[in-house]
Structure 1
Amino acid sequence: MEGNITVLKEKNIATVSFYHPASNSFPSSQLQLLTDTIYNLGKDNGITAIVLKSEGNGAFCAGASFDELLEVTNLEEGNRFFSGFANVINAMRKCPKLIIGRIQGKAVGGGVGIIAACDYTFATESSSVKLSEIAIGIGPFVIEPAVSKKIGKAAMAEMTLFPTKWKDAQWAKDKGLLNEVYPSVEEMDNSLNNYINQLASYNPEALYEMKKVIWEGTENWDNLLYERAAISGRLVLSDFTKNALNQFKKS
């Protein structure tokens, strides 16, 4: 059941793909690998822009691995697991290369956080989003700063406080989570390919300076996201969350 991360470099563009058989969900080992991959590409002077995508025609990302969440037995393990998403988001925001998201399907929880941490996004009309964490006794605490930065606190709260409701791609576009939405994967990929090639032709120094502007005011995330991870790490140990996770697995 292990997933993988792959990198394809073409000219000055790197495409990072992640895959997991459980709807592209993330175990902690894969979160760390994605963090390391983004960090290393940030240091690669031959790369100007990064495309982040998942494999397959189904979900873009189902968030945290429920199997691994059920295995958490103490605060240290809980903190470590949720810090994985903090690591990814911090790596994405601090990466000196612009990161363009390719979203071909639904995203839940941490998957929404990854979308929010992209600098620009291309998606299909089937790319609905949902923050389901409250329903299992935790909350989108780690990813909240990234999501709220894109769509605002009110829209983030709307998603969080109705954890069973999907928001469609048009809603996500109207709120600013998705930038471009297309009827089909083919149309999305055609537009994305044209865009990324144009973007990668621009002055890398100008793009880097623009990236810094985009993420101004997030310097406290180096501490904030890990403080939030501690909240989730504590809540995941509750009987409520353990029972809810088991019910989700059975359904």
Structure 2
Amino acid sequence: MGTTRENGSLYTHIHGNVATIEFGHPASNSFVADLLDRLTKEFLKLSDNDTITTILLKSEGEKAFCAGASFDELMAVSTIQEGKVFFSGFANVINAMRTCKKVIIGRVQGKTVGGGVGLAAACDYVFASENASIRLSELAIGIAPLVIAPAVERKIGIAGLSELSLAPTEWKNAYWAKEKGLFSKVFDNLKELDQELELFAEKLSSYNPEALEDWKKVLWKDTDHWDALLTERAAISGKLALSAFTRNAMSKFKK
């Protein structure tokens, strides 16, 4: 049973050297600003927790992994500053995941849209179900996936990013995402996925914590400028969200 809380839910469970973060929201596990803020703080806190070496990121239920940012909150944006703050939510989470000292494993059990694709891309290793289709729907509502683009491009390249983003109404299946490098492994059922994921997390968490931390820095090389870059992108996105084109597209989408 998923959460019914309007602000969503976020729980962390630590078992051995592995911390599992589970997020949920009644609207297909989408993110309101408050939930993004809590997730950012959780990654920053766990980064400095010496008792763990690995983080597992998952969402509630067996359906959607993440529907991206809250559509209702996006509709409510009324100033450029509010827009920048709204889009900074995912910027902050991605930067917290990037600088986190622990290796992050993602569990993507179902459909993933927009910011959810950015979240998967910011994980270091991803287990997915074959139901985990992905879509970057931003252009269809008048904005663009500016904030998450660096994370997604780092995994699937500019060609994959172009193909995904310029067809905003088209779903790409989990095998496409695996072939491009967004997903590490794809399973045809959740039982098998969870069994393999547990074994993998256990094994990974037994490695030298210093080696894992040093290696993660290498995997994320040349991304030190992302703090400024993603904030800059959030400001551009906020401006786009206020345009007459976007307002019109969003109200049609809402209907």
- TM-score, with normalisation over the residues of structure 1? 0.99
**Quick one: distance in 1 between partners of 2:188 and 2:119?**
22
- Tell me which residue corresponds to 2:3: none
Query: Is structure 2 residue 232 aligned with structure 1 residue 220?
Result: no
**Quick one: distance in 1 between partners of 2:110 and 2:254?**
21
Alignment match of 1:118 (pick from 123, 126, 132): 123
How far 1:249 moved relative to its partner? 2.1
Q: Deviations over 1:130-150 (max 9, x none)?
A: 000000000000000000000
- Tell me which residue corresponds to 1:168: 173
- Tell me which residue corresponds to 2:150: 145
**Quick one: distance in 1 between partners of 2:249 and 2:93?**
26
Aligned length: 250
Alignment of 1:1-251 (within 5 A): 1-250=6-255
How far 1:172 moved relative to its partner? 0.2
How far 1:224 moved relative to its partner? 0.4
**Quick one: distance in 1 between partners of 2:164 and 2:68?**
15
How far 1:2 moved relative to its partner? 2.0
**Quick one: distance in 1 between partners of 2:10 and 2:233?**
26
| Gap runs ≥5 in structure 2 | 1-5
- TM-score, with normalisation over the residues of structure 2? 0.97
Aligned letter for 2:151?
A: A
How far 1:239 moved relative to its partner? 1.8
Q: Deviations over 1:135-174 (max 9, x none)?
A: 0000000000000000000110111110000000000000
Q: Deviations over 1:171-211 (max 9, x none)?
A: 00000000000000111000000000000100000000110
SS in 2 for 1:53: strand
How far 1:243 moved relative to its partner? 2.0
SS in 2 for 1:216: coil
| Gap runs ≥5 in structure 1 | none
**Quick one: distance in 1 between partners of 2:171 and 2:138?**
13
Aligned letter for 1:218?
A: T
- Let me know the Cα RMSD of the aligned residues: 0.6
How far 1:13 moved relative to its partner? 0.6
**Identity of paired residues, percent?**
57
Aligned letter for 2:163?
A: E
